[in-house]
Every structure is written in C-alpha cells, then in structure tokens.
C-alpha cells in the first residue's frame, strides 16, 4: 500500500506535485458532507427505533469531527494559528474579507437547535429542522471553498512558502493528540465509503505522511491508518 509510505525518509523529502499537505483541509469538508449524508439516511429509515439509535450515534461522530475541523480553521490559542489566520497572514486577509470567521455564528445556531433536539430525543423536531441544517452547512462549505482554495493556490504559485512546514506549524497542532485517532479513522471511513472510485482516502492518508514530523510520528499515524482502511483497500 502507498509505496513510499514505508520509507521514513519521505517525511523530509521535497514535496512532489501529488503531495498536498492541505488535502486534510479540502477533504475535511467532504468528510463532513459524508457524515451529514449518514445522518440524513438515518432519519429516512422506516423503523423509527433503529432510525433514532443510528442518528444518535452518527450525530456524536459528526459533532466530534466538526469541532476538530472548526479548531483547524480557527486555530487554538497558544498552539497554532489555524487555517483562516494563516490565509489572512499570507493571502491578503482573504478569510476575514470573506467573513468566514463571522459566518460560524449562524452555523452554531442551527447546530445547537439540532443538538438540543437530539439531547431530548425529539426526533420529530430533528426531522423538521434537519433540512435547514443540511442546507446551511453545505452553503458554508461552498463559501469557504470558494474563498480559500483560490487564496491557497495563489500562495502556492508565489513559490516562497514551504507548504509542508506551513501545514505542520499552522494546522496540525490544532488537532489534540487525544482526537488524532478519531480524526484519521473517521476521515478514512467516510472518504472510503462514499468515494470508492476516487483516491480521496489515499490522498488524505498521504497528507498525513508528508506532514509527519519524524519517522516515529509517521509510524504512530500509520498504525492508525492500518486499521482505518478496509483490508481490500489497504492491501491494494
């Protein structure tokens, strides 16, 4: 699997065109889209008991990944600046000009509405609120992508920034070590399940490799990946 993934020296090698450390950001939205699809499918099950149970478990996973991803975007005090501040610093205040930090308020409101209904097991209320929840989230993802992807491409094109080092310093420290296994495992699970004919899960894994800070760091992440991938994909 992955060829050069077994060579520790790759973590300090020059990036090749296919090595994109910011895939973790780009595909993070796809992981969340997949998680919302899981929630939507749960609500459509005919058996109400199964539907509610599956939604409850899927919601916990969605919220956990969502919170990790928000920290990646917004940064964590004393650890890393996060994606938005990084883009502001290098990309002419692209995130702030686009209103991305402020948009989170609307998203939090609808998320809390679904969360409260889920807490009280008010699944009738969830079914009423969920279409709006799905709509607001997708609009947010599209807006973020429309702003940050061109800005990031411009930073890359300027050729003056080490993108691997930038990801290591500004993005990776926002993920708590206690959440790393979940972040990797859930990301791989969703990308492999919903994009079986595309190499998104592999690219997600490869981004983890190229941003490893040492051979030991890569070995720890590789152990997680070995169990996250299905055997058929991992051994391909």
Predicted confidence pLDDT, tens digits, the chain (236 residues): 444 344 344 433 444 445 688 999 999 999 999 999 999 999 998 777 788 899 999 999 999 999 999 999 999 987 899 999 999 999 999 999 999 987 777 788 889 899 899 888 898 899 999 999 999 999 999 999 999 999 999 999 998 999 999 999 999 999 999 999 999 999 999 999 999 999 999 999 999 999 999 999 999 999 999 999 987 665 44
Both tokens assigned to 174: 């926002």
Virtual CA dihedral for 28, 29, 35, 41, nearest 10 degrees?
Answer: -150
Cβ neighbours of residue 59 closer than 8 Å, sequence gap 6 or more = 39, 114, 115, 118
Both tokens assigned to 227: 């169990």
Asked whether 86 and 170 are in contact (CB, 8 A), the reply is yes
Rounded to two decimals, the pTM is 0.89
The pLDDT of residue 110: 87
Phi-psi label, residue 191: left if phi above 0, alpha if psi -120 to 50, beta otherwise: alpha
H-helix or E-strand containing 145? helix 123-158
**Complete DSSP assignment for 208-236:** HHHT-SSHHHHHHHHHHHHHHS-HHHHT-
Both tokens assigned to 112: 């809390």
What is the Cα 219 distance to its own chain's centre?
A: 21
Report phi then psi at 110, rounded to 5.
-70, -35
């Amino acid at each position: 699997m992955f060829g050069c993934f077994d060579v520790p020296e790759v973590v300090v090698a020059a990036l090749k065109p296919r090595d994109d450390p910011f895939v973790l950001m780009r595909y993070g939205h796809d992981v969340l889209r997949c998680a919302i699809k899981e929630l939507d499918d749960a609500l459509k099950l005919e058996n109400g008991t199964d539907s509610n149970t599956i939604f409850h478990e899927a919601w916990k996973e969605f919220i956990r990944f969502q919170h990790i991803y928000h920290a990646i975007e917004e940064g964590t005090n004393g650890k890393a600046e996060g994606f938005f501040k990084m883009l502001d610093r290098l990309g002419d205040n692209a995130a702030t000009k686009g209103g991305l930090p402020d948009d989170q308020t609307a998203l939090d409101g609808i998320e809390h509405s679904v969360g409260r209904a889920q807490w009280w097991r008010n699944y009738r209320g969830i079914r009423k609120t969920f279409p709006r929840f799905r709509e607001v989230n997708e609009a947010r993802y599209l807006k973020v992508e429309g702003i940050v992807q061109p800005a990031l491409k411009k930073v890359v094109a300027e050729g003056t920034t080490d993108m691997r080092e930038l990801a290591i310093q500004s993005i990776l420290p926002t993920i708590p070590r206690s959440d790393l296994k979940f972040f990797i495992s859930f990301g791989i699970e969703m990308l492999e399940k919903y994009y079986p004919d595309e190499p998104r899960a592999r690219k997600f894994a490869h981004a983890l490799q190229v941003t490893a800070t040492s051979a030991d760091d890569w070995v720890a992440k590789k152990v997680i990946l070995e169990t996250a991938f299905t055997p058929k994909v991992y051994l391909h």
